[in-house]
Amino acid sequence: MELGKLKKFRSWLISAGLAVLITLWLASGQFGNETPEAAPSSVIASVAPAQRSSVRVRTQSAEEILRTIIVNGQTAPARIVDMAAETDGRVEFIGVSRGTNVDRNAVIVRLDERDRKARLAQAEATVRQREVEYQGRLKLKGESYVSEAQLQEAVAQLEAAKAELKRAQLDLEYMTIRAPFDGALQERHVEVGDFVKSGDPIARFVDNRKIIVTANVSEFDAGYVQTGQTAQAQLATGETVHGTIRYVAPVADAATRTYTVELEVDNSDGGLRAGGTAELRVPAEQVLAHRISPSLLTLDDAGNIGVKIINDEGEVEFVVADVALATNEGVWIAGLPDLATIITVGQGFVVPGTMVNAVPESDVETAVAIKSEDED
């Protein structure tokens, strides 16, 4: 009896254990040895919109101005003459110091004239003698004492004596080297006591009563420059001078494809000094342009100078600067739209083709004014 009860209890215990094991197995989700693939989870990415840079802009209209051709050049005297001795002699007198302004025919250098004066006196005496001989033979010819051949011989001797006199006069004149025109002595190569021969350099003389500003203009601009046209130049000293175009090269330089232009400037008082740099400015044509501050100019990747604007699509656009005029009030840029939205602050932090938040200058000024009122 007790044995039967023990067997029933053992069977019930085994059944209960199996039931627990099956329950645990089902709860674990394991069916056999296969490992089920994890279901892909759906990830919803939350993409924040790209943050745009803010720039300050000013919208302005173009104005009609006179475009000015502006090119760099240099100043030079109107004429430069290298003077040389025209005869042999020893330097006796120096009449002009270097850098001195003198009038035409002023004595620069004089050679010892004593020998030349003696030759001149001898030549004059010879002419007088030949004149007497000629007159005598002419009288005798009238009385038939002298032949025609003898008379012509006297004529030839007289002419030869006159030619020698002329040569002696010129040789004496050559002993004095004079200023060929109003100007200044740039250089002097001799001193008192030096012996010079014909052809030796004596001095360099310059015409500084007129200054020439020389510059080269492009093929496009050359058509706007005409001989006789008035123009101006700004010197390195900051001084602005006015003058007349005296020369425009008919043929372009083969290497640079530019045309040489010369502006003649009056310098009667000698106040301007040649040899310095200058900026030639020639009026060209009427164009539409925008006046901006030079600080708004920037560079693109190619090294071109220009300005950044906001185009009709709301994108940043770089426009190469075509400087029509430069004044103390700013630079005038042609080539922009008639109504242009120019970036005035932040142009260095945005690139062409990008969208930006354009903040008008008027809004900024209003906000600043309101803030100032609130603080008061």
Domain ranges of the chain: 81-204
| Nearest Cα to Cα of residue 58 among 330, 258, 267 | 330
Contacts of 327 (CB under 8 A, 6+ apart): none
Low-confidence ranges of the chain (pLDDT < 50): 1-10, 12-13, 16, 18, 20-48, 367-374
Angle, CA 320 vertex, CA 73 and CA 59 arms, to 5° = 120
CATH number of 81-204: 2.40.50.100
pLDDT of residue 4: 47
* CA distances in angstroms from 337 to 15, 65, 289, 327, 333, listed in the order given: 95, 15, 9, 21, 11
47 DSSP assignment: P
Contact 131, 157 (CB under 8 A): no
Sign of CA dihedral 128, 133, 134, 139: positive
Q: Is the dihedral of CA 125, 130, 136, 139 positive or negative?
A: negative
pTM: 0.62
Instruction: Let me know: does 227 contact 282? Beta carbons within 8 Å.
Output: no
How far, in Å, CA of 208 to CA of 271, rounded?
9
pLDDT the model gives residue 150: 81
3-state secondary structure of 219: helix
Residue 21 has a pLDDT of 45
Q: What local confidence, expressed as pLDDT, does residue 376 receive?
A: 52
Residue 93: what pLDDT? 96
d(CA 252, CA 267) in angstroms, rounded, equals 29
pLDDT of residue 323: 85
Residues 6+ apart with CB under 8 A from 203: 82, 83, 108, 109, 177, 185, 186, 187, 188, 189, 190
